[in-house]
Structure 1
Amino acid sequence: MSDRPGEARLLDLTRLISRAGRVQTGVDRVELAYLRALLAAKVPGFGLVRTSLGYILLDEDGMRAIAERVEGRVPWGTADRLSRLARRLDPAQRRGQSDARRLARARTVRPGLKRMLRRHLPQGTRYFNVGHTNLTERVTRAVKQGLGGTVNVLVHDTIPLDHPLYQRPESIARFRQMIGRVSRDADLVIYNSRHTRQSAERHLEEIGRVPPGLVAKLGVEVTEPRPGDLPKGLPPAGVYFVTVGTLEPRKNHALLLDIWERMVKQTIPQDMPHLVICGQRGWMNEELFFRLDRSALLGAHIHEYGDLSDGAIAALLQGAAGALYPSFAEGFGLPMAEAAAMGVPVICADLPVYKDVLGDIPVYASLKDSYLWQRRIASLANSQRAGKAETGHTAKGFEPPTWDRHFNAVLKMA
């Protein structure tokens, strides 16, 4: 990592605190990677958290304690009395905000943010927002006017603007507000792929100002498999496939359900593969949930798990015939890249971002041709049953991007 002496970095940790106790999403894991990087750097690091009551500033000791909790090495503490005032928070969020208060170097109500930062941080502090959360005028003004600092924002995707049918109306409005703030106040925009940069800069140009930007691919880490974390019944007996991701409309789990319902009518029982769906149920997907809950395949050849650890998912992927990703849209596709890094054959939609990240490693299949998907799945299943690995489309020769390369690129410019 590139370090500059005499400066400080301020990482927004609002998202991670708001996600206390939950299975991490891809964006959560990126924020955690930045937290680890700041703790490993020689430059002083601080964390900023917006809570229901105001703002919290964490020093490195506090950030380290938060990292231990996010990683599961230390349990989240009990909810404090102040958390009872925030009735909209769930119990896990109350514990997260309570721990942040207990670990705080400083706290303030919202109007006092600029004063708090000026008191505790050096001039020229560089602020990083990588979680699509808490990028507000109050925050950017406090950093730029109060500290003479810079605002550096990681944009993961522009899906709410490009594919609004897959989003809740309030999330579209929030994202539009955020991208407007990026246009007005960002000193540097970090993009996870060329495709994300092209999409974002198109929207930024429409708003008026396109800040300087760079593409730095996210680090792809292979999680250590933890078979002991798997619940009873996993892995399923026989050939199986895995898909990882929140059950939301753009992930297109319906395509896989269509294929499995068709395959069961065409395949002898002993050759019928299993599908393991790893991900929490999301939003605007009631039709899929209705189908899943009433499917005769659920529990027989389709298995849904919403709370598996990263180690459990890695253990599942180790034995899978393939990993399936039929998304309509993605910003990077971190779970798919992680599967490829493990050497698992991948079948995915023919999205530009996938080709940008993984090149010719996966098998690409049009989302308009479910029969092609079925043939590719059957081919991988037959290869595994025969004890042969398909070498044409695995991670052979794949060098996954690393966080070291990401931060070396980012911190030279940020």
Structure 2
Amino acid sequence: MELAYLRHLSHESVPLFALVRTTLGCVLLGPDGVAEIAARIDGRLPWGRADLLSRLTRRDGAVRRAESDLRRFALARCRPKRLAAMLARHLPEGFAYLNVGHSNLTALTLRAVRQGGAGRIAVLIHDAIPLEFPQYQRPGVAEEFAGRLQRVRAHADLVIYNSADTRARVEAQMQAWGLLPPALVAHLGVEPAVPGALPTGIDAERPYFVVLGTIEPRKGHDLLLDLWEEMGPQAPGLIICGARGWNNAAVFARLDALPADGPVREMAGLDDAQIAALLQRSCGLLFPSRAEGYGLPPMEAAALGVPVVSSDLPAIREVLGNIPVYLKESDRYQWLSAIESLKTGHKTQQLTVSGADFIPPTWEDHFNLVLRLT
């Protein structure tokens, strides 16, 4: 999503600047610097060598090189307390500040942006999950997230929400702190990748399902592992795509104990084309998530014409309507029945036809809404 914003705003008629927090302070990129960094993020140019400052302060080699290039192409740099002065010196008066990543929403940054000459501050909020489901978070995350929302309420001229459901849930939290800022709902664009080659070792002739997303407690991987254990040796394949997250030691231990020749496989680090190929040839996407602010995987699967079985979540219904099969996350019988039906093809044709009618939201529509008000 942040990359979509970078690509789109780079082609607008107004100049684009970027504010980046690094280990050693704040970096401001001008339009030329933004273009250089964007080319490296896209892979069109390689990242440069780590400079001395990065070698002294960072252990991660990739971050060393990225922060070094940020300094090389910087229009200006400063310590956080000098941010307002730096922005006032280098940016046009009345600039618009867009924050779309839940990061840098500190009181210091937001005040400095305003004092530095911002005419308008817009923030995109993805969900209220840390406050509604603190049991799925690392210690302290819920409190930290509440602070972010409080600062957004106090400083933002516009809050952008990815779904009406997210807006309702976040504003239910915000209203306890005072007046609500103006808001806009703009669905995120869905751009399914062009399918490439299947990952090595996948037998396309054997029925299999895909689950896609970070392996964290709210995503429901534990339910799927239980179902596959219950189905036993005759179970179809289950391909688990996504990086390992947090607070999920029991699931990680079960994944580590999977037999190499079993039906369940964990495949991290796949590129978009490989994931699209896996989805396109699968019996369907399984999405037993317990909470979502938007839910891109079901939308990407539906855009490819792939059957979707999902927990019954308002954000998914908001965009996909009646295309998926919706199930209670806790009803194992329903999940087993849906998996069996799709494996044997009883529901595949009906769901695929429904999916063919899905017109996914576009980034063009998203930006037409957002930029009109920012």
**TM score, norm. by length of structure 1:** 0.86
Q: Could you tell me whether the CA contact under 8 Å between 1:277 and 1:304 is conserved in 2?
A: yes
1:45-124 equivalences under 5 Å are: 45-87=16-58, 90-124=60-94
Change (3 A) 1:118 1:295: same
Change (3 A) 1:92 1:236: farther
- Please list every run of 5 or more consecutive structure 1 residues that lacks an aligned counterpart in the other structure: 1-29
CA distance in 2, matches of 1:72, 1:264: 43
The C-alpha deviation readout for 1:265-314, integer Å capped at 9, x for no partner, is 5x3xxxx3111100011100000111121234x54211111111111111
1:143 to 107, 110, 113: 113
Number of the residue aligned with 2:339: 377
Paired residue secondary structure (1:101):
helix
Q: CA RMSD in A?
A: 1.8
Q: CA offset at residue 122 of structure 1?
A: 0.5
Give 2:284's aligned amino acid: G
1:220-369 equivalences under 5 Å are: 220-227=190-197, 230-234=198-202, 237-264=205-232, 267=234, 272-296=235-259, 298-369=260-331
Q: Could you tell me whether the CA contact under 8 Å between 1:45 and 1:59 is conserved in 2?
A: yes
Number of the residue aligned with 1:216: 186
Give 1:241's aligned amino acid: F
Paired residue secondary structure (2:38):
helix
Q: Could you tell me whether the CA contact under 8 Å between 2:97 and 2:118 is conserved in 1?
A: no
Q: Could you tell me whether the CA contact under 8 Å between 1:279 and 1:305 is conserved in 2?
A: yes
Q: CA offset at residue 345 of structure 1?
A: 0.4
- Please list every run of 5 or more consecutive structure 2 residues that lacks an aligned counterpart in the other structure: none
Which stretch shows the higher mean deviation, 233-242 or 341-350? 233-242
Change (3 A) 1:164 1:307: same
Q: Could you tell me whether the CA contact under 8 Å between 1:362 and 1:393 is conserved in 2?
A: no
Change (3 A) 1:79 1:209: farther
CA distance in 2, matches of 1:284, 1:391: 34
Report percent identity of matched pairs: 51
Number of the residue aligned with 1:389: 349
Change (3 A) 1:221 1:392: closer
**TM score, norm. by length of structure 2:** 0.95
Q: CA offset at residue 235 of structure 1?
A: 5.1
CA distance in 1, matches of 2:358, 2:105: 35
Give 2:140's aligned amino acid: E
Q: Could you tell me whether the CA contact under 8 Å between 1:153 and 1:188 is conserved in 2?
A: yes
Q: Check if 1:195 corresponds to 2:158.
A: no
CA distance in 2, matches of 1:369, 1:340: 23
Give 1:247's aligned amino acid: I
Q: CA offset at residue 171 of structure 1?
A: 2.1
Q: CA offset at residue 91 of structure 1?
A: 2.2
